[in-house]
Structure 1
Amino acid sequence: MTTTATLTERYISATIRSLRPEVQDDVRAELEASIADAIDARLEQGETPSAAERSVLTELGDPGILAAGYADRPLHLIGPKYYLVWWRLLKLLLIIVPICAFGGVMLGQLIDGAPTGEIIGTAVVAALGSIVHVGFWVTLVFFVLERTGADTGVRWSVDQLPEPTQNGAGRADAIASIVFLVLGAGAVFWDAFVGFFPTEGAPIALLNPALWPWGITFLLALFVAEALLAVVVYAQRRWTIGTAVVNTALAVVFAAWSLTLLLHGALINPEFLSFVFTDNGVTDETMRILTVITGFALVAFPLWDIVDGWIKTARARRS
């Protein structure tokens, strides 16, 4: 059974996570002692424990600034006032914007039927351009704020402290992964024997019935492998390079398998496509666009799974 971390634990965790591993224990011990002494002093003055803890941590200030002091790392952009706000916003945007730009341009090029080289080149240029623009415009805004002395209204408080991370190896993550995979396997059987798409007659299956038995058996084997991987990660209490490699291999196999079947018209039930689209006057061009979007999703989700696994592995190695 897990317990909620105290504000002090969250504050110390947020402070030491960016420090070198060899100094984290010393800084943790020093902070625990100094915070405890400051809280005791306030308790003697009649404050409640919760109010004393919040007051002490608020006086200590942003844990990012405190960590920079321990690491002897200067916080300067044009000046120190908005450095951490600028840096946190910039990191967030540099993760989100280039990925969205790359994916959006690639999807648009695929829909337009552009050649492979043009698709990749245009998407890469868009991603690189977004990095340049994000870096320039965000920095320019904070440069103006710093020089004009404007007040952004941003104030640090203990409510912003993050919960300590478990490197993706928590029980909740393992249970969620297994439940999701069990629901996925159940959906495959439900689709085959009951059908998801209702009609005036018998429901129509979404997946191609020709995938039975070997294609569906292969898909279920991937589900079982993913579930076993979740159990292994939980048993180790952390992601490792080995589990990240296995996770990458499973994601690549699923993407390649599903995308190959989609491109050969063997993934989706032809009867379903005919009933929903062809019989209702949907043109071949629209069908091509729908196929491109489906294929994009079949690649995007495994790709995110791969990135997520390696991010968790990097966090585990730093802890």
Structure 2
Amino acid sequence: MCTTEPSPSEARTEPTGHRAPDVSEASAPIVSGEPVQVADGVFVIPDQRVELVPNVGIIVGEQAALVIDTGIGPRNGGYVLDQARRLAGERRLYLTVTHFHPEHGFGAQAFKGAATIIYNRGQRDELRRKGAAYIDMFKGLSAAVAAEFEGVDLIDPDLTYDGQAEIDLGGRTAVLRTVGPAHTASDQTVLIDDRVLFGGDLFETRIFPITPYFPPYDADVDGAHWITVLDQLTALNPEIVVPGHGEVSDVSLIRDVRDYLAYVRDEAGRLRAAGASADEAAATIDKDARARWNTWERPEWISFAARTFYDADPAG
């Protein structure tokens, strides 16, 4: 495992003291509730806007079913597996995750032997490189979060792919595509029948995009490419868009997140060129973005996004 990943205290605090969102008083990160059908054969267990709970996808075809994301730890993974089995019966199961972060994939051990687990190669490598440190970091967030890591094991996938993979579920097709680096080094989208798009934390509903920029410990987020990815996803014009967190939406969600990131990019570049320091640029962007997107949650991430773009190579 990489030894240069953030410790809990280091990961939650930037060098200048800007802190990531405090979830110490949040509800326990438990996946719960009934799957909701958002399209034919496409179900989502909604996150109910609970911190560190993802929207979980279950796609059921005639011969097989695909699960997208698991929640944190074996308890959540077991619950998701039970829901998938209830919907899929004896059909073959597949599991994939949108990216390696703990709330999206660290329940995978419940699926070992019960499903074929498939990640892109970058996800597998990022899990191996950063997984143990992220467990330590997340355990430090709160006692309720730490409890979900009890007995957690990091599970390698059964299959990996490069670029793109297609899973025929029987009358329903899932296309897995590597699109990172963006939110992480190895983000993946899942497109069902050219209609329903699962994008993980590339976009979230009424939440400022999470930019895990903690140099020198973790700086794999790529804001410029993230914008490019959102342009590409918008061009697909999916009918239904399932974010990593927040309510299911449509393609307008992707445009909204793209516009925000482009604003931060442009403002960070302008302020840097005008001689503003990183702190000054982050403070200015933070103030303006809070006013402009005043219905969005977790504004603590604005300054991280500002620094991501401020520190980027202007020529890149």
TM-score by length of 1: 0.22
- The answer to which structure has the higher helix fraction is 1
Between structure 1 and structure 2, the one with the greater Rg is: 1
- The answer to which structure has the higher strand fraction is 2
